[in-house]
Amino acid sequence: MRPSHRAPDQMRAVSLERGVARYAEGSCLVKFGETHVLVAATLEDKLPPWLKGQGRGWITAEYGMLPRATHERTRRESSTGRPSGRTQEIQRLVGRALRAVVDLPAMGERQITVDCDVLQADGGTRTAAITGAWVALHDCFAWMKARNMIPRIPLKDHVAAVSCGIHAGVPVLDLDYAEDSNAHTDANFVLTGEGGLVEIQGTAEKDPFSEADLMAMLGLARKGVGELVALQKLAVG
């Protein structure tokens, strides 16, 4: 039995609320159960120097967590003087995931920064962030289209993410914090709406895992992402 009493292939309650950040070009408050992430997309007319003159745009992501988003308070990164390794790893992951479904040349020489700030954390913050970021990015593109900056929304597909794990010997979908702390294996899957793989990150926390474990988790992830993409369609439809 999972601590959350969910079936092994059952996601937490997921919601995607658009337009929550008054000043952002696109935004989304995404909830995977008690994990809440506020995503805001900011359009900038200029690119970082190393990207200029290549005839394409760029999507970058930043990630943060409120100090008391967690059970124990964590130190503010501004007081430690630098983003942690974990923060940077997540930022890079979210950026790659989004860029995989954006037609970068079609967006022009502009940059969109997607800020993902965790208001409350109960496991799976990076997968929730990716899922909500697609909605915020979509709305940022819609904002640009409405102002005739681009002729169409330059998204090639949906992208969403979910974590899976082997908990008490059973492959399970969408780990919350209690499960994540005890899982023997933990894997994050980023998939497109059409089912293509964008990113897999699987880690054995204790003993190594088998190819069969990997396949079982991938199957669960396909189911979960299917549901997330359906919710994204509802949200922006």
Binding site, annotated residues: 86, 124-126
- Which residue number, 7 or 76, has a Cβ lying nearer to its own copies? 76
Does the footprint of its own copies cover residue 48 (CB under 8 A)? no
Applying CB under 8 A, among 53, 85, 151, 169 the residue interacting with its own copies is 85
Residues sharing a CB contact under 8 Å with residue 226, sequence separation 6 or more, in sequence order: none
Q: Among 3, 1, 2, 27, which residue's Cα sits nearest to residue 16?
A: 27
Q: Among 164, 158, 159, which residue's Cα sits nearest to residue 221?
A: 164
Least Å distance between CB 109 and its own copies?
18
Two tokens at 219? 């199957």
- Which residue number, 64 or 236, has a Cβ lying nearer to its own copies? 64
| Beta bridge mates, 156 | none
Does the footprint of its own copies cover residue 44 (CB under 8 A)? yes
Does the footprint of its own copies cover residue 3 (CB under 8 A)? no
For 110, phi and psi rounded to 5 degrees? -135, 160
Task: Judge contact between 61 and 98, C-beta under 8 A.
Answer: yes
- Which residue number, 10 or 87, has a Cβ lying nearer to its own copies? 87
Applying CB under 8 A, among 6, 56, 96, 145 the residue interacting with its own copies is 96
Does the footprint of its own copies cover residue 194 (CB under 8 A)? yes
Two tokens at 200? 């897999």
**C-alpha 92 chain-centroid distance:** 11
Least Å distance between CB 145 and its own copies?
20
Between CA 68 and CA 119 the distance in angstroms is 8
- What single-letter DSSP state applies at residue 3? T
Per CB under 8 A, contacts with its own copies among 119-178 are 119-120
- What single-letter DSSP state applies at residue 147? T
Applying CB under 8 A, which part among 21-29, 45-53, 126-134, 223-231 lies near its own copies? 21-29
Q: Which helix (H) or strand (E) holds 114?
A: strand 111-120
Helices 125-146 and 211-236 cross at an angle (nearest 10°) of: 30
- Which residue number, 99 or 145, has a Cβ lying nearer to its own copies? 99
Least Å distance between CB 66 and its own copies?
5
Q: Where do contacts with its own copies occur on this chain (CB under 8 A)? A: 21-24, 27, 34, 38, 40, 42, 44, 62, 64, 66-71, 73, 76-85, 87-89, 91-92, 96, 100, 113, 115, 117, 119-120, 187, 191-192, 194, 196-204, 207-211, 213-214, 218
